[in-house]
């Protein structure tokens, strides 16, 4: 039996490594010249540095991420503060504060001035209880999206998680994120970033793991069609070359939704997307700068301070992707320098635009997400765009890969 994993993003790598651990022979096919999908690193000649395409944040309570890295022996590849701490600065007012949830699930931190949202009282938190219980409709229908807790914590938090203006987001997705992180206390929501890079944390260890277990990895092989016969995938076609499948062979299709829709007849997938813009600046951050900080009253939303560079992220950035790269670099750097207290002129920079970074996490698009099973007995879907119950996140991608591996191991339900 061979399992063909098509797509070497995190969903595909998660499926492949889980299957390889169980002794299954795996062949991974990837269209591009490198694995990782949207979670990739590369050497940027303009900066003279290895950078990530974007700043991907995970949280300490992301169970699938922890299991994935533990399997690969790469648990030490995430960096972050020992406890949950989220520094913020509002550039419009100059105010600075830190949100510091206590470790346990009983949220006594909301009553502490030095831990909670400035200017917020208990009622301000209670008016947002619907964020943790919502099951349908939009976020702004499930909760009263006003007040300091919304503006100074939940709006920036959900903007990053949903990659969509939070009020427009699917309440069910927001509730799942809130319950699995803030709802479990600070022990589940300490921020973590890949160190020294996304590839070093999530991709390179997976490729080494697969190779050590005899898996075959084929790069620059784009799947162009599948031969679908008698309710099964009979062959995979890469250009003019066909790879026949044996009677017991399986396929995990872990490609972007628009690719899957072209390959699988009648498949309904999300068809609206949101962009993310990232700025990378070759400058050492000031001493004592937080590893991660949130920014309000600006275009910049999150700042990441690495040893050799400062990187920033703007989510829900469809309104920015057509702006010139230099215009974006100057605007983002001006705000970043203000937030970090730097007087430096624009340093060497790079702007990375992901135009279809995630599916639009709205109720309408949530309804278009397919499950893993298909009408073909040996074809399973994986990807953060499938119905994982989460927005398009690293945690969701890895969960979908694990789910695909489990379905192959235990069999698809009839």
Whether residues 172 and 294 share a domain: the answer is no
Whether residues 241 and 255 share a domain: the answer is yes
Residue 176: inside a domain: yes
Whether residues 237 and 283 share a domain: the answer is no
Of 163, 189, 215, the domain-final residue: 189
Residue 321: inside a domain: yes
Q: How confident is the model at residue 256 (pLDDT cuts 50, 70, 90)?
A: very high
Whether residues 259 and 377 share a domain: the answer is yes
Smallest CA-to-CA distance from 298 within 274, 326, 333 is with 333
- What per-residue confidence (pLDDT) applies to 412? 59
Residue 352: inside a domain: yes
pLDDT digits (tens, 9 = 90+) for 124-183: 999 999 999 999 999 999 999 999 999 999 999 999 999 999 999 999 999 999 999 999
pLDDT digits (tens, 9 = 90+) for 296-355: 999 999 999 999 999 999 999 999 999 999 999 999 999 999 999 999 899 999 999 999
Whether residues 243 and 375 share a domain: the answer is yes
Residue 54: inside a domain: no
Query: Structurally, how many domains does the chain consist of?
Result: 3
Residue 327: inside a domain: yes
Whether residues 180 and 104 share a domain: the answer is yes
Residue 9: inside a domain: yes
Whether residues 267 and 376 share a domain: the answer is yes
The pLDDT of residue 414 is above 50: no
Whether residues 253 and 299 share a domain: the answer is no
Whether residues 228 and 376 share a domain: the answer is yes
Whether residues 265 and 282 share a domain: the answer is no
Residue 148: inside a domain: yes
Mean pLDDT in residue range 23-46? 96
CATH number at residue 317: 3.90.660.10
What is the domain extent for residue 18?
Answer: 2-42+201-271+369-410
Residue 394: inside a domain: yes
């Amino acid at each position: 039996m061979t399992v063909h994993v098509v797509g070497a993003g995190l969903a595909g790598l998660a499926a492949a490594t889980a299957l390889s651990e169980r002794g299954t022979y795996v062949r991974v096919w990837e269209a591009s010249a490198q694995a990782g999908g949207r979670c990739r690193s590369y050497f940027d000649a303009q900066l003279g540095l290895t950078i990530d395409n974007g700043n991907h944040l995970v949280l300490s309570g992301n169970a699938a991420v922890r299991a994935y890295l533990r399997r690969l022996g790469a648990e030490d590849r995430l960096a972050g503060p020992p406890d949950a701490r989220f520094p913020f600065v509002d550039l419009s007012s100059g105010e600075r504060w830190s949100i510091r949830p206590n470790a346990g699930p009983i949220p006594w931190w909301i009553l502490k001035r030095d831990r909670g949202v400035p200017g917020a009282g208990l009622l301000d938190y209670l008016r947002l209880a619907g964020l943790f219980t919502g099951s349908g409709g939009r976020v702004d229908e499930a909760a009263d999206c006003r007040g300091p807790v919304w503006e100074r914590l939940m709006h920036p938090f959900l903007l990053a998680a949903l990659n969509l203006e939070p009020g427009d987001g699917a309440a069910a997705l927001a509730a799942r994120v809130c319950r699995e992180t803030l709802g479990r206390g600070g022990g589940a929501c300490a921020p973590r970033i890949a160190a020294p890079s996304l590839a070093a944390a999530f991709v390179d260890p997976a490729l080494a793991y697969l190779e050590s277990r005899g898996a075959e990895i084929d790069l620059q092989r784009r799947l162009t069609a599948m031969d679908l016969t008698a309710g099964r995938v009979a062959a995979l076609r890469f250009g003019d070359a066909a790879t026949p499948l044996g009677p017991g062979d399986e396929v995990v299709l872990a490609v972007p939704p628009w690719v899957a829709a072209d390959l699988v007849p009648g498949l309904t997938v999300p068809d609206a997307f949101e962009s993310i813009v990232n700025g990378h600046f070759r400058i050492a951050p000031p001493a004592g700068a937080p590893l991660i900080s949130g920014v309000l009253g600006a275009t910049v939303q999150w700042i990441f301070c690495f040893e050799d560079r400062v990187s920033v992220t703007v989510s829900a950035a469809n309104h920015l992707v057509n702006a010139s790269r230099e215009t974006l670099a100057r605007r983002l750097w001006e705000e970043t320098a203000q937030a970090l207290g730097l007087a430096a002129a624009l340093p060497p920079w790079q702007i990375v635009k992901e135009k279809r970074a995630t599916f639009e996490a709205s109720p309408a698009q949530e309804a278009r997400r397919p499950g893993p099973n298909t009408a073909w007995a040996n074809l399973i879907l994986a990807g953060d765009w499938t119905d994982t119950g989460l927005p398009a996140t690293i945690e969701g991608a890895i969960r979908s890969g694990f789910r695909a591996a489990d379905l192959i191991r235990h069999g698809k339900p009839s």
